[in-house]
Structure 1
Amino acid sequence: MNPKSKLYQPDHWRARAEATRKKAAALIDGKAKDRLLKIALEYDKLAWRAHVWQMRKNEDDT
């Protein structure tokens, strides 16, 4: 595990979620829009997991 990797940074996943929501907002097709919004929710979950991971790592370092 490389804690400096962007995969462990909550802001990386939040930015992906926001970009995905912007793409979804531009779509007219309901199914495609729904799929993108679900993907954005998964990115939000990854952001939360990265946040929790950082918190635990910080606790372990002290």
Structure 2
Amino acid sequence: MSPRPLIHDAEHWRKRAEEARRLAERMMDLESRRVMLEIAKSYDELAARAETKDKDKRQS
């Protein structure tokens, strides 16, 4: 069995989002912090998509 692609791994994306938030907390530059929080939000969206795709796959 081949490893699951990361694009479908919600846990992977949630960890990346949390890491981005931790980095943002330490940033002094407000624009850099804002961009890093946007990146975290995008990772959360990827996690949600992966969960939806996984749920759809299990139901079919």
What's the TM-score, normalizing by structure 1? 0.89
Q: How much is the aligned-residue C-alpha RMSD, in angstroms?
A: 1.5
Aligned-partner SS, 1:55: helix
AA partner of residue 52 (structure 1):
T
TM superposition outliers: structure 1 runs of 4+ over 3 Å: none
Separation (CA, whole Å) in 2 of partners of 1:3 and 1:39: 26
AA partner of residue 49 (structure 2):
R
1:30 match = 30
2:15 match = 15
Q: Report deviation, 1:43.
A: 0.4
Identity of counterpart residues, as a percentage? 34
Aligned-partner SS, 2:21: helix
Aligned pair count reads: 59
Q: Report deviation, 1:42.
A: 0.5
Separation (CA, whole Å) in 2 of partners of 1:27 and 1:58: 41
Which blocks of at least 5 consecutive residues in structure 1 are unaligned?
Answer: none
2:47 match = 47
